[in-house]
Amino acid sequence: MKKKLNIAVLGTGFMGKVHSYAWRAVSKIFDLEFEPVLKVAFGTDANDLSSFVERWGYEDSSMNWKEVVSRPDIDLVDIVAPTLVHKDMAVFAAENGKNVFCEKPCCLSVSDAQAMAEACEKAGVLSYLNHNYRRIPAVSYARQLIQEGRLGEIYHFRGAYLQDWIMDPNFPLTWHLKKEFAGGGPLFDLGSHSIDLARFLVGEIDSVTAEMRTFIKDRPLPGTGAATFTAGTNQSSEKGKVTVDDAAFLLLGFENSEALGSCDVSRFAGGRRNYNYFEVYGAKGSLVWNLERLNELQFLDLTEPYATQGFRNIMLTAGDHPYMSKWWAGGHIVGYETTFVNAMSDCLTCLAKGTAPSPNFRDGEKILQVLAAADVSAREGRRVRCQEVQ
């Protein structure tokens, strides 16, 4: 008999939807000690909240997140609200003895991430930071190949995360475009993913040199009722300042190797709807991966004779590929939503074993240091050591 684990989900947007789907699926796909129960959802818009709760089968709802988090029947708080509120929600949850699962980016600043990590450590609760792309079989397998030494010494990581959803100058000034709500533009939203992958595959980053641009500096204000948690489509004729980047290009130095890395993030890459990409080049081999073909990993083995070398396309659908033994019959592909199911499975496995998941809020702190260093570097026009920023 599985133990019930009562979940409170804070937020009803896109991530609220994906997380609800994954909490529902995880104990059906994986053999876990826990069975998540969608106990209560928090939202800021009464109509959205009631349809969300009905659609996903939550037992209860509330428009007061503190009330939700402090309920004695809640075991785990899942934060899918805007970045601005992550820290307060996570700290309050930890203080109330709840395990915390939090969407990326971790929070707005290095000191907020430290506060989140400390609160969880002090309370002895789990902290889990959701960088779901690590959980893709191909990405996990890429790390395995690197750790097995199949790439040898790593020379380069080239990451890119490109989107195009705000290229229209009439796209409204939603919370994503305000620094005080989001911390940064694609630098935080997408760069946090790329940096997580760079750390996952290559190692700790210790310096950053960056350039950033904001192409559209003023945008129409969103319509009424859309100020904080939702985008809103009914915009007004008044305009407001965009206070985040539209694109950021980073050069990365690594702590324990001479590897040279880069990471380009943008919301102005036309046609790139959700293009998360990396290449890793080593002394013995190279890897290429792209979210649009998430079941595939390209591998070039430099130990083969030069004349026959070439990238081979590995389909990650065998039972012995990471996560795949629990999914469909061999040879069948998986999609975006499975990355969250895999993430929740890993999180619940750590909870059952009492081990710290990775990434957690300490990793969030490291990622925030890189993002903050990139921000300083772009503004001051110089290379910045990650330790410099707090």
Q: Which residues form the interface with ligand SOE (CB under 6 A)?
A: 14, 163, 189, 274
Least separation, in Å, of the C-beta of 214 and ligand SOE? Answer: 16
Q: Give how far Cα 114 sits from Cα of 46, 66, 117, 119, 132, Å.
A: 33, 21, 5, 8, 21
Residues in CB range of 320: below 8 A, 6 or more apart: none
Least separation, in Å, of the C-beta of 274 and ligand SOE? Answer: 5
* Burial label, 147 (beta-carbon count in 10 A; 0-12, 13-18, 19+): exposed
Q: Are 116 and 364 in contact (CB under 8 A)?
A: yes
* Comparison of 76 and 162: residue with beta carbon closer to ligand SOE: 162
* Comparison of 82 and 282: residue with beta carbon closer to ligand SOE: 82
Least separation, in Å, of the C-beta of 339 and ligand SOE? Answer: 9
* Comparison of 52 and 188: residue with beta carbon closer to ligand SOE: 188
Q: Are 120 and 49 in contact (CB under 8 A)?
A: no
Report the alpha-carbon distance of residue 370 to residue 386 in Å, rounded.
Answer: 6
* Comparison of 78 and 189: residue with beta carbon closer to ligand SOE: 189
3-state SS assignment for residue 3 = strand
Least separation, in Å, of the C-beta of 222 and ligand SOE? Answer: 17
Residues in CB range of 345: below 8 A, 6 or more apart: 26, 29, 30, 32, 323, 326
* Comparison of 311 and 336: residue with beta carbon closer to ligand SOE: 336
Least separation, in Å, of the C-beta of 163 and ligand SOE? Answer: 6
- CB nearest ligand SOE: which residue? 189
* Comparison of 14 and 311: residue with beta carbon closer to ligand SOE: 14
Least separation, in Å, of the C-beta of 57 and ligand SOE? Answer: 24
* Comparison of 189 and 264: residue with beta carbon closer to ligand SOE: 189
**Plot region of 112 (φ>0 → left; ψ -120 to 50 → alpha; else → beta):** alpha
Q: What share of the chain is helix, strand, coil (3-state, %, to 5)?
A: 35, 25, 35
Least separation, in Å, of the C-beta of 331 and ligand SOE? Answer: 27
Edge-to-edge strands, sheet with 3-10: 60-62, 34-42, 3-10, 76-79, 99-103, 127-130
